[in-house]
Amino acid sequence: MKHDIVAPLVGESITEVSILKWTKQNGEQVKSGDMLLEIESDKATVEIVAEKSGALTILKPAGERVLVKSVIGFIDDAATGTVSSGAPAGAPPKVPPPAPTSTSAPSIPPPAASNTSNVVDLSPAVRKAVVENNVNPAQVQGTGKDGRITKGDVFAYMAALAERKQPAAVISNASDKPGDRRVQMPMIRQRIAERLVFAQHTAAILTTFNEVDMKPVMDVRAKHKDAFEKKNGVKLSFMSFFTRACTLALKQIPAVNAMIDGKDFLYHDYADVGVAVGTERGLVVPVVRGADKMTFAEIEKAIGELALKARNGKLSIADMSGGTFTISNGGTYGSLLSTPILNPPQSGILGMHKIMDRAIVIDGKIEVRPMMYLALSYDHRIIDGKEAVTFLVTVKDLLENPSKLGMEFA
């Protein structure tokens, strides 16, 4: 019996995924539980394992983009497979292409003049989306539970419809010459680009700057780092100090921890802090949930685990969803000053930078101190300049007076 391998549904609004690589050869014998391939969406990388034992047949090669729920291969439990001679992992079999099925890319007919009559079974948010955009829900492929239509499905349908109405972009090869090479943009990179442009076009982004004397934090860290690591099994880094400082400042200035939802301001009485992590496939922002309730050790462990998953491509959609505020540490790469861009739908992001010795005046005397520039980018639609500056000054004050951070390890 043949058992289909189906491209997984990895998120409500995701309709397409890319096959990163097959870890098994076409025709190879696989066992239940073996990892077969890695799938990349615009948000995360997902591993697919074999649910049955048998001979593997690959229908879609590595690098190909496929619709979610489409068949990309199958396992025949009645056959005994062997490694195909000379066939690289991910190579499709030399068989006639399968007949089109319901999982093939559907044609997208234009919306009818009146098509909102069958919306009674939709959720209020989806019903509003189809009515306001004159979309016929019968033409939308549902990716929710039991095939239900989500709000993301409606927007994906509209985007696909708009794309088909646009003429294909013309890419000139005139500038290509020996030494040039084209590489297909990964889906996660495309998603990053879309979100950055979206943030620039939809939010009123401003950035305010300040600088912090890092000597007090560095002194505390030097004093306690060995005992902290011995007790907790993780290093005491600057990120836990900044995360704690931000969560305390967010409680004082709740607008920085809020977001705009339609015509409403949505405030959060908790802090789920996103921590930007650079990976080979692009920047990802896993979320430390309930950071405002965590100890220094819990923050360090959470950040360490998420960073490791990010670099290994193991982050899930849940790991990167639902943040209320973000911290980005460009100083890791030597950045002295930058203007971080918002991570929609959040309204604030703090940029950390390189610590650098500079001459500053303290009590009328010139001293050399390890200084760091801080940058807070914020959405001026919800956060006033006074609130943004107050937030940044509060973070600065907490870091320059670390005893205010409630250092339970001290």
Q: Are 375 and 208 in contact (CB under 8 A)?
A: yes
DSSP letter for 215, please: H
Distance CA(172)–CA(169), nearest Å, equals 10
- Phi (first) and psi of residue 73, to 5 degrees: 175, 180
Distance CA(55)–CA(77), nearest Å, equals 7
Active site residue 380: yes
Residue in the structure block whose two tokens are 């949505």: 266
User: Which residue in 241, 330, 325 sits closest to 289, CA to CA?
Assistant: 325
Active site residue 176: no
Q: Are 45 and 39 in contact (CB under 8 A)?
A: yes
The active-site residue out of 77, 121, 384, 397 is 384
Write the DSSP assignment of 222-235 as a string of letters. HHHHHHHHHHHSS-
H/E segment holding residue 58 = strand 54-58
Question: Residue 307, by phi and psi: left (phi above 0), alpha (psi -120 to 50) or beta?
Answer: alpha
The active-site residue out of 4, 77, 380, 397 is 380
Q: Which two tokens stand for residue 353?
A: 């930078």
Helix (H, G, I), strand (E, B) or coil at 19: strand
Residue in the structure block whose two tokens are 């943009």: 185
Q: Are 348 and 328 in contact (CB under 8 A)?
A: no
Sheet harboring 71-76: ordered strands across? 2-6, 71-76, 54-58, 29-30
User: In the chain, what are the helix, strand and coil shares in percent, each to the nearest 5?
Assistant: 30, 25, 45
Burial of residue 241 (CB within 10 Å: 0-12, 13-18, 19+) is: buried
Query: Which residues are designated catalytic?
Result: 380, 384
